[in-house]
Amino acid sequence: MADPSGSCFVEDILIQDGIVQKTGLFTPPKNVLKINAGGLVCLPGLVDMHVHLREPGQTHKEDMVSGSRAAAAGGVTALLAMPNTIPPCDSPEAVRFVTRRGASLPVRVYQAAAASKGLAGEQLNDFSVLKAAGAIAVSDDGRPLPDAGIMKQALIHAKAAGLPFLSHCEDFSLSRGGLVNEGEISRILNVPGFGNDGEAVCVARDVAVAECNSLPVHICHVSTAESVNIIRSAKARGVSVTCETAPHYFTLTEDLLLSRDADYRMNPPLRTRRDMKAVLAAITDGTIDALATDHAPHSPAEKADFFSAPNGVIGLETLLAVSYTRLVKPGHITLWRLAELTSQAPSKILRLPFAGIKPGAPADFCLFDPDWEFTVEPEKSRSKSRNTPFKGMTFFGKVKYTICRGKVVFDSEHKF
């Protein structure tokens, strides 16, 4: 286990009825399931606050069962499903569908409801009704709200309903049609580019609306140096803004697109080394609050053609290993900070209870081997899709066990 200093210590954990009963060094009771976790590190279960499960409407890519199994294999014990399904999750009935289905899944599945009807960005939904049905956040993820006026109303209604608003920041007048980051690589490939301004202009707009009206806002999948600077400055002024980034933005750069492999295409796109370093610095200094995957499955057939393929990559099974390898092992952050980024902070943003690993807390945690080096093999993914940008790459930190609600939902030695 890790403590706030970032160091590790040895403890036993006793679980009963899904709750941590006791921690420390003790002789375990007889006739209980025992896990020998020698050499493993225990962290609170990861909370991935940005996941596309594709159910209903596109279950050939992913469904709630396959997505939750992939989550468990990555140490994720709770996830937030985005609303851009077919049809969109913009009604109480749609939210209740996910809530009912989620009760039987190996990990905790929560739902973000659509902010606008049909994700069209024109007429806002009744956020209070959606919350009563079980939604824990609102977002039109995949599309931005089209103007500052409707954004203001969305933030007002989200605050009144007690729901976080998660903003997809993209100015379509600047980004529309862009396949990759605008710059040298887009010119070499001779394809339209999506420049940093397409993200940063919308981040600036949403931060300004939040600041002028004393309203909270959360910025999704930050990828540019300019966005980081806007958010860092806003936080210094006391603006109620939080943000997330994904492992591919602090690990990979646009150069991979020269392979013309659509598995490296996502929205926002991979950026330059300058942007990657800015995102890394923002994680280190606390500007970025949380890590999320933006897990976006697509079938191999859909990803086959570089120029026509949809944007999106999968990431549930690699969130912990990539973050541990790229952030903790080089000394950029501590294990404790990693737990904060992947569990405590997203829980706080989503207003979910977080108690850590202590007596009385829900038994949601993962055990991983920090010394186990492995290569990402897409064909072994628990997801229905294979579009990982980390294929063939080597990382440390293999998840050995995931425990959710006190039950072992993933064991690397057995297929779940």
98-102, 196-200, 337-341: the lowest-pLDDT one: 98-102
What band does 2 get if pLDDT is binned at 50, 70 and 90?
A: low
Is the pLDDT at 6 greater than 90? The verdict is no
Is residue 81 within 8 Å of 107, Cβ to Cβ?
no
Mean pLDDT of 341-368: 95
What band does 330 get if pLDDT is binned at 50, 70 and 90?
A: very high
Q: How far apart are alpha carbons 81 and 91 in whole angstroms?
A: 15
Is the pLDDT at 30 greater than 90? The verdict is no
User: Residue 273 has what pLDDT?
Assistant: 98
Phi, psi of 193 (to 5 degrees): -110, 155
Share of the chain above pLDDT 90, in %: 91
Residues 380-405 as b/e (b if ≥16 CB within 10 A, e otherwise) read ebbbbbbbbbbbebebbbbbbbbbbb
In whole numbers, what is the pLDDT of the chain averaged over residues?
Answer: 96
Catalytic site positions: 294
Residue position matching structure tokens 């973050």: 323
Chain segment 223-254, per-residue pLDDT in tens: 999 999 999 999 999 999 999 999 999 999 99
Q: How far apart are alpha carbons 98 and 264 in whole angstroms?
A: 30
Chain segment 104-113, per-residue pLDDT in tens: 999 999 999 9
What band does 32 get if pLDDT is binned at 50, 70 and 90?
A: confident
User: Residue 28 has what pLDDT?
Assistant: 85
User: Residue 234 has what pLDDT?
Assistant: 98
Q: How far apart are alpha carbons 89 and 66 in whole angstroms?
A: 19
Can you say whether residue 209 is alpha, beta or left, with left for phi > 0 and alpha for psi between -120 and 50 degrees? alpha
Can you say whether residue 143 is alpha, beta or left, with left for phi > 0 and alpha for psi between -120 and 50 degrees? beta
User: Measured in whole angstroms, how far is the alpha carbon of residue 73 from the centre of its chain?
Assistant: 15
Q: How far apart are alpha carbons 15 and 296 in whole angstroms?
A: 34
Sign for the pseudo-dihedral over CA of 48, 53, 56, 57: positive
User: Residue 415 has what pLDDT?
Assistant: 60
Is the pLDDT at 3 greater than 90? The verdict is no
Is the pLDDT at 370 greater than 90? The verdict is yes
What band does 1 get if pLDDT is binned at 50, 70 and 90?
A: low
Most distant pair of Cα atoms in the chain: their distance? 67
User: Residue 355 has what pLDDT?
Assistant: 82
Chain segment 35-61, per-residue pLDDT in tens: 889 999 999 999 999 999 999 999 999
Chain segment 169-178, per-residue pLDDT in tens: 999 999 988 9
Is residue 402 within 8 Å of 73, Cβ to Cβ?
yes
Chain segment 273-295, per-residue pLDDT in tens: 999 999 999 999 999 999 999 99
21-30, 70-79, 258-267, 314-323: the lowest-pLDDT one: 21-30
Is the pLDDT at 97 greater than 90? The verdict is yes
Chain segment 174-209, per-residue pLDDT in tens: 998 899 999 999 999 999 999 999 999 999 999 999
Task: Report the topology of domain 44-357.
Answer: TIM Barrel (3.20.20)
Torsion angle of the four alpha carbons 10, 11, 12, 15, in this order, in degrees rounded to the nearest 10:
-130
Is the pLDDT at 8 greater than 90? The verdict is no
What band does 5 get if pLDDT is binned at 50, 70 and 90?
A: very low
Q: How far apart are alpha carbons 80 and 292 in whole angstroms?
A: 10
Q: What's the angle, vertex CA 23, arms to CA 20 and CA 25, rounded to 5?
A: 150
The neighbour count for residue 261, using CB atoms within 10 Å, is 15
DSSP letter for each residue of 166-178: EE----HHHHTT-
User: Residue 416 has what pLDDT?
Assistant: 56
What band does 372 get if pLDDT is binned at 50, 70 and 90?
A: very high
365: Cβ–Cβ under 8 A, 6 or more apart, which residues? 13, 42, 43, 44, 45, 77, 357, 402, 403
Share of the chain above pLDDT 70, in %: 97
CA separation, residue 241 to residues 61, 118, 164 (Å): 33, 26, 11
